Every structure is written in C-alpha cells, then in structure tokens.
Structure 1
Amino acid sequence: MRIGLITSDPAHPLLAATTALLAAEHTVRTLDPATAEPPEPPEAPADVYLLKARTPRAISLARALERRGARVLNSAAATELCQDRTAMAEQARRAGLPFAATRTYPTLAECAERAEFADEQGPDGRSGLPGPVVVKSRHSRKHDLVTRVDSAAQLRELAAAHPEEPVVVQEFAPNSGWDHKLWAIGDRVFTALRRSELSPGGRGPTRPLAPDSLPPGWTALVHRVGEVFALDVYGVDVIDRGDGVPLIVDVNAFPGVRDQPGAPQALAALTLSSAGAGAGA
C-alpha cells in the first residue's frame, strides 16, 4: 500500500517509529505542506494520508487530496474544527460533553475593555468574569497564548502585550495542578499525567498513568469525543474537578503521543485498516 505523511517533521518520534513498522512492506512518502502540492494525474493519491500538520496550508493540502478521493486521517474538516477553540467548545457543549464554558472576544484588547472581574464590576453593567480565568488564543497553534489571569489589572497588562489577538476565556477550575492527557489512536487509549502549564511552577514532567486507573467512565468519554469530532487520532485534555468529575479543556487533532508504549503499533494498524477500507470502498 501507499501511505502519505502530511508533515514538516517526519522525524517526529511517533511518525518515525510508525514509518519503520510500515516501510518494510509498504511505500511511505512524506508531503511537506510548506512546499508540496496535491499530486496531479496521472499520479494517483496514496491509499491513505496521515495529517500530522495542522497549519492552514496543511489542511488545504489535505482537503485537495480528499476532493480527489483520498482517505485522510484525521479529515481536513475535523482537523480544522479543532484549531478553532470557539467552534470546538460549541461542538462539545451541543453534544453534552463536560467542556469548560467558553466566552469569545474578537481581540484581547476588547476583552480587557469589556469584561471586568465579578468582584470589580461597576454599575455600568459590563459583564463580569468569575476570576480567576484562563485566557487562550482562539486559534490553536504552536506557541499560542494560554495563561491564567487573576485580576482586571493583569488582564489589561496581557492585552497591552497582545492587543489584536482573538481569544477565548474559560473559568479556571480548581484542580491538583496535573492535567490528564488522554490520547486515542483508533480504539486504543493512552494516558499520562502532565504538570499543568498554569501551575505556579509552570509546565513540568509527564508521568505515566495506566488506562485502567482512570475514574469510571473516562475511557468512554474519550471515545465519545472521537465520535463527536469525527477524529481517529486525537488527544483530550481533562482536569479532575474532584471525586473523578471530568472537565474537558481542550481537544487536539493528531497529537504527539510521545513515549507511550504501543502507540506506533496502534497507529500502524489504524493506517493499514483505514487504507484497506478506502481501497474497498
């Protein structure tokens, strides 16, 4: 079979290990979205493409390949949905998922101007933020903005540094300071604990976590996210609000899934089964 990798980093540990498993019997080709164009006739598309990159150009390339009948994991539409945190929140909450309540502001400057914290709200009727809150770039990308804000003064200072950045604001939910990183590759779920970037010490190490140690219902929740967002390879960031009550704060299309035993094997198996399904169709 012919397999395409849409990525600028084929040496990424997950992709490199998966390629090593596939290359012995199959042809694996890398398409760098920064330079690649969709193959034109008479060259036919590969049997399946893995869309690891999430840039607008990568999504555009994937969409062009889909128009030619190619099978892409994850689809261009599903990947694009996860890049817009406003659309992500709306999709999750419509489906009844326990997703953090999310407000959207066209710019951070307007957020700072319009929204004051509840304990600082004046009589002018401006909407109060519950405080503390988490401010994130609306459009998910590398080195985007994700930070905790505890006061109106801090919000104004942040806005001065990033005035034109479109943002979403979520209420900060008290937690242990550790994020549950839950990754799915097809039916397989991989888990770890990672020190939150919002904790006082900043992002810290990742600790292994056995999937069977998750609170009841969490594995089913991960699979439900995949159904709602039409994803095959994805990550779900969950915090425990206490007593195993989950709160989803982010969904990622095709995350790194680093240092997870069995992840390359799961991705290789999903790739081949998807390629076979596409050929059958």
Structure 2
Amino acid sequence: MRICLITPEPDHPLLASTTALLTAAGHRVESLDPTALGEAGAPEQPADVHLLKSRTPQALALARELEHHGAPVLNSAAATALCQDRTAMAELALRSGLPFAGTRTYDSLAAWAAGAPLGSSPVVVKSRHSRRHDLVARVDDRTRLDELARAWPQEPVVVQEFAPNSGWDHKLWAIGDRVFAALRRSELAPEGRGPTRPLARAELPPGWEDLVRRVGEEFALDVYGVDLIDTGGGTPLIVDVNAFPGIRGQAGAPEALAALALERGTRR
C-alpha cells in the first residue's frame, strides 16, 4: 500500500516512527512538502491514503484537490480548517452540546480593548486563528490588556471567561478509537508552561474518554487533540481542539496511526 505524508517535516517523531512500522511491513511511504509544490498541484497518481500533518494554506489546498479526485485524506481539509478557526470551533461545540468555554469574537484586539468593560474576573484572550506562536494570554486588569493591545493591535481575537482550575491542562489525544493522555502545566499558570507528564488512561475521570471520542465525531476528525481543564464540577471544560497534533512520547501512538492509515487505505 502507498501512504503519503503531507508535511514539510516527515522526520517528526510520530511520523518517523509510523513510517518505520509501515516500511517494515512492506508498505511504501512517501512525503509531500506542500510548500515546495509550487504550481504542480496534486500528483497524478494519488496514494491509497494521505496523512495531513500540516495546516498551511498550501497544505489545505493540496488536501482539497486530492479529496476532489476521491483520495482519502486524514484529517479532511474541512475538518482541519475548522480547528484553525476558534470562533467556528466554539460555535460547533456549543451547538453540539459539548462543554466548551463560552466564546466571544472581536475583529481586532485594539478595537475590543478600547471599550472592554473588564470586570472583577479574569478573561482569556486568544488569536481567533490558531497557529504557531499565536496569542494566548490571561488578562486580569486594564494594564495587561493595554499591553497586549499594543503588541497585537490588529489581531482578530476570541475572549473567554477564565475558569478557575488546578493550573494543569489535561492533554488528550485520539488516533481513531485509541485515546492517549498526559498532564501539562497550563501556559496561563503563573509558573508558565512546564514539562508534559504521562497520564495513564486509568487515571482519567469516568466519561472523559467518551467525551473525547464524541468531539471526534462532531468535528469529523480521525487524529486530533482535546485540551480539557478540571474545574472541580465533575464535567471538564473543553478549551481547545487540534487537528493532527504531535502526540509525542505516547507509547502505542505510532502503532495506532499505522493501523488507522492501513484501515482507511484498505477501505478505499
């Protein structure tokens, strides 16, 4: 079977380990760097299945073209694009009854900051469009808000009420039906983001795995991450959904990804 990785980084640990497993089993693994294709577009002979580990406009355009010709892509271009728009993400999650943080959207941080009536409770300000090195910050007072507005004046943003929590994010990842978990100190914590700590699935509260799988169903995702925070009320709060995250250091993740790729390629 031919498996194609759509990524500029085929040596990413998860992809490299998955490639080794597939190659050892006699399958052919190729990679396409969407930033280097230029006007060439999709290959004339698509692979049996494509793994979309990139979120750039070029990568999404390539994925859409492959899908137009009937080639399977995991995750789909539409599902990947949805997870980059935090406004659309929140709307879908809340419409589906998922416990997602209430979200307000503003065209620019400077415009919102100019008239924002800050209350006594902190808020979280995020770039509307999720990407590397985007804006994610806690705002407790006018001084902090003005500081961010000067640094990111034209940035479209979403604003969420800050939910008191332990300061640790539960990072849950899914590859098909397999769920993996870890703890990571929140980047909003006073100490800043720390190392990721392994978390056995048996340590997850009841219902959390089912919640993650439900997110995958509602967002039409095959490989994805869900960031949860425990607010102490029993039901966790979803604060982010990511398409095809790194899932580094999770035992069994490469095996799960290889199996999923083969299953989808065979289904085709």
Q: Output the TM-score relative to the length of structure 1.
A: 0.92
Partner of 1:169: 159
Q: Secondary structure at the match of 2:34?
A: coil
Q: Partners of 1:244 and 1:26 in 2: how far apart?
A: 45
Q: Secondary structure at the match of 1:222?
A: helix
Task: State the one-letter code of the partner of 1:79.
Answer: T
Partner of 1:127: none
Q: Partners of 2:194 and 2:105 in 1: how far apart?
A: 28
Q: Partners of 1:71 and 1:50 in 2: how far apart?
A: 9
Q: Partners of 1:13 and 1:53 in 2: how far apart?
A: 15
Q: Secondary structure at the match of 1:242?
A: coil
Equivalent in 37, 41, 58 of residue 38 of structure 1:
41
The answer to whether residue 8 in structure 2 is matched with residue 18 in structure 1 is: no
Task: State the one-letter code of the partner of 1:39.
Answer: A
Cα contact 1:234–1:253 (8 A) shared by 2? yes
Q: Output the TM-score relative to the length of structure 2.
A: 0.97
Cα contact 1:38–1:65 (8 A) shared by 2? no
CA-CA distance at 1:68 after TM superposition: 1.1
Report the aligned-residue RMSD.
Answer: 1.0
Q: Secondary structure at the match of 2:71?
A: coil
Q: Partners of 1:267 and 1:244 in 2: how far apart?
A: 31
Partner of 2:190: 200
Q: Partners of 1:214 and 1:175 in 2: how far apart?
A: 16
Partner of 2:267: 277
Task: State the one-letter code of the partner of 2:108.
Answer: T
CA-CA distance at 1:153 after TM superposition: 2.5
Partner of 2:225: 235
Cα contact 1:109–1:163 (8 A) shared by 2? yes
Number of residue equivalences: 265
Task: State the one-letter code of the partner of 1:4.
Answer: C
Task: State the one-letter code of the partner of 2:9.
Answer: D
Counterpart mapping for 1:84-233 below 5 A: 84-119=85-120, 131-233=121-223
Identity %: 71
Q: Partners of 2:177 and 2:89 in 1: how far apart?
A: 22
Q: Partners of 1:241 and 1:217 in 2: how far apart?
A: 15
Q: Partners of 2:126 and 2:256 in 1: how far apart?
A: 32
Cα contact 2:186–2:193 (8 A) shared by 1? yes
The answer to whether residue 265 in structure 2 is matched with residue 265 in structure 1 is: no
